[in-house]
A = this chain, B = another copy of it.
Amino acid sequence: MKRRLDKATRARLDAQARVMKALAHPTRLFIVEELSRGERCVCELTEMVGADISTVSKHLAQLRVVGLVQDEKRGTQVYYSLRCACALGFFNCIDEVLQSVARQHAEVINA
């Protein structure tokens, strides 16, 4: 019997894709990487990223709604932290892919 993309599978994939999409932006990857070292407030991240604070705030909101990070308000500042350390595993795999591509590229050039 043929596998097919049924409604339930589709719903699961939609949810998974939403999480992937939240990670699919250089600034948000930077934020995740930085948060893996410890919590940071919005203004710290804003300074590091070098974009408008409203832009950074929106990136953080995207990571938050999918559950990758959590926020905690202390005084006038909001501190964000990673909720799932496993997100860092992504970097390893992605780097593996990129290195594999680089190797292949080199082969083609040397061929």
Could you tell me if A89 and B89 are in contact, using CB atoms closer than 8 angstroms?
A: yes
Residues in chain B near residue A100, CB distance under 8 A = 67, 83-84
Report A1-27 residues with CB < 8 Å from chain B CB. Answer: 2-5, 9-10, 13-17, 19-21, 23-27
Could you tell me if A3 and B48 are in contact, using CB atoms closer than 8 angstroms?
A: yes
Instruction: Name A residues whose Cβ lies closer than 8 Å to a Cβ of B.
Output: 2-5, 9-10, 13-17, 19-21, 23-30, 34, 47-50, 66-68, 83-84, 86-87, 89-98, 100-101, 104
Could you tell me if A20 and B24 are in contact, using CB atoms closer than 8 angstroms?
A: yes
Instruction: Name the contact of A67 in the complex, choosing from B2, B21, B90, B104 (C-beta under 8 A).
Output: B104
A14-B26, A16-B91, A24-B24 given as contacts; is B96 within 8 A of A84 (CB)? yes
